[in-house]
């Protein structure tokens, strides 16, 4: 008993006309495929295939025709004949989603856009104000910025400061803050959690630095670091490149004193 193409009734087996769903199920079984395997091959959800095989086409005419063609092509059936029989079995069936509805939605959106032009102008003005404020803050020299996932613990200015690359152009941090300063620049090649404290143990920064971020921290006398992933960062202390302080995944503690980059 096998599938055949027949004039008038598309799918027949043993003299009996088969429904579209039955034809799909038999073709899939003859191909030795499970519903899951057919779903993976066609990128159509398993539940949709199961409904089709049960002659349930409630997903709508627009999607049904497309899915039927995809499944038929994969199973070696004639897509045009299968869609034709589907149309005969479901004549004039209303579809929840039709092409006209898809493109008609654009006209509705355009009409709403015209009515909401005043609101759009208000949003544009608000965005312009935000841009002006951001530019003003950047030009104001506030170089204290952290990554989007960082949690910054503020510290008094006399104990320690954090600066991002380019915050004070034209002068080194040693020149800017005077002698006895420890300057540690941290550059991440992948995200890493770090904690930075000054000589008295007061926090300067604690959080996760994102990948590709360069941040500079400074404090009087010494800077203490805890790095969760030592291989993920590169350190430059008082102008000297020390490279990675450890291996990937290794947590390290480092203390750097004024006058030299050697860890203590």
**Which tokens sit at 139?**
């030009």
- CB 190, CB 147: distance < 8 Å: no
CATH of 20-89, one of 1.10.287.130, 1.10.260.40, 1.10.287.810, 1.20.1630.10: 1.10.260.40
In sequence order, the 6+-apart residues with CB closer than 8 A to the CB of 243 are 234, 235
Higher pLDDT, residue 174 or 228: 228
What is the torsion angle, in degrees rounded to the nearest 10, for the CA atoms of residue 110, residue 116, residue 120 and residue 125?
160
Question: What is the predicted pLDDT for the residue at 214?
Answer: 94
Q: What is the pLDDT of residues 17-70, one digit of tens each?
A: 689 999 999 999 999 999 999 999 999 999 999 999 999 999 999 999 999 999
pTM of structure:
0.35
244 confidence band (pLDDT: 50, 70, 90) = very high
pLDDT for residue 248 is more than 50: yes
Question: What is the predicted pLDDT for the residue at 142?
Answer: 41
DSSP assignment of 136-190: HHHHTT------TT-------TTTEEEEETTTTTTS-HHHHH-TTEEEEEEEESS
Q: What percent of the chain has pLDDT over 90?
A: 48
Cα–Cα distance for residue pair 200/222, rounded to 1 Å:
9
- Average pLDDT value for residue range 196-217: 93
Higher pLDDT, residue 128 or 49: 49
Parse the chain into domains and list their residue ranges: 20-89, 173-261
H/E element holding 135?
Answer: helix 117-139
128 confidence band (pLDDT: 50, 70, 90) = confident
Question: What is the predicted pLDDT for the residue at 136?
Answer: 64
Architecture per CATH, 173-261: Sandwich (2.60)
Q: Phi and psi of 60, rounded to 5°?
A: 110, 150
Instruction: Kindly report the average pLDDT of the chain as a whole number.
Output: 76
DSSP assignment of 41-98: HHT--HHHHHHHHTT--TT-HHHHHHHHHHHHHHHT--HHHHHHHHHHHSTT---SS-
């Amino acid at each position: 008993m096998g599938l055949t193409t027949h004039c008038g009734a598309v799918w027949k087996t043993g003299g009996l006309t088969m429904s579209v769903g039955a034809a799909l199920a038999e073709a899939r079984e003859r191909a030795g495929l499970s519903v899951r395997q057919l779903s993976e091959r066609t990128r159509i959800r398993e539940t949709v295939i199961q409904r089709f095989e049960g002659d349930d086409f409630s997903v709508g005419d627009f999607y049904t025709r497309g899915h039927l063609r995809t499944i038929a092509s994969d199973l070696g059936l004639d897509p045009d004949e299968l869609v034709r029989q589907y149309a005969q079995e479901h004549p004039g069936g209303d579809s929840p989603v039709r092409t006209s509805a898809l493109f008609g939605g654009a006209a509705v959106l355009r009409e709403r856009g015209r009515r909401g032009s005043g609101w759009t102008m208000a949003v544009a003005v608000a965005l312009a104000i935000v841009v002006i404020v951001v530019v003003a803050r950047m030009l104001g020299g506030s170089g204290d910025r952290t990554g989007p996932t960082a949690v910054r613990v503020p510290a008094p200015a006399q104990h320690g400061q954090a600066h991002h690359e380019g915050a004070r152009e034209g002068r080194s941090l040693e020149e800017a803050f005077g002698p006895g300063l420890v300057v540690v620049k941290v550059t991440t090649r992948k995200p890493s959690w770090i904690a930075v404290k000054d000589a008295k143990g007061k926090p300067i920064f604690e959080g996760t630095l994102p990948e590709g971020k360069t941040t500079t921290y400074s404090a009087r006398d010494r800077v203490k670091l805890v790095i969760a992933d030592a291989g993920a960062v590169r350190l430059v202390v008082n102008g000297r490149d020390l490279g990675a302080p450890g291996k990937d995944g290794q947590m390290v503690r480092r203390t750097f004193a004024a006058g030299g980059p050697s860890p203590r």
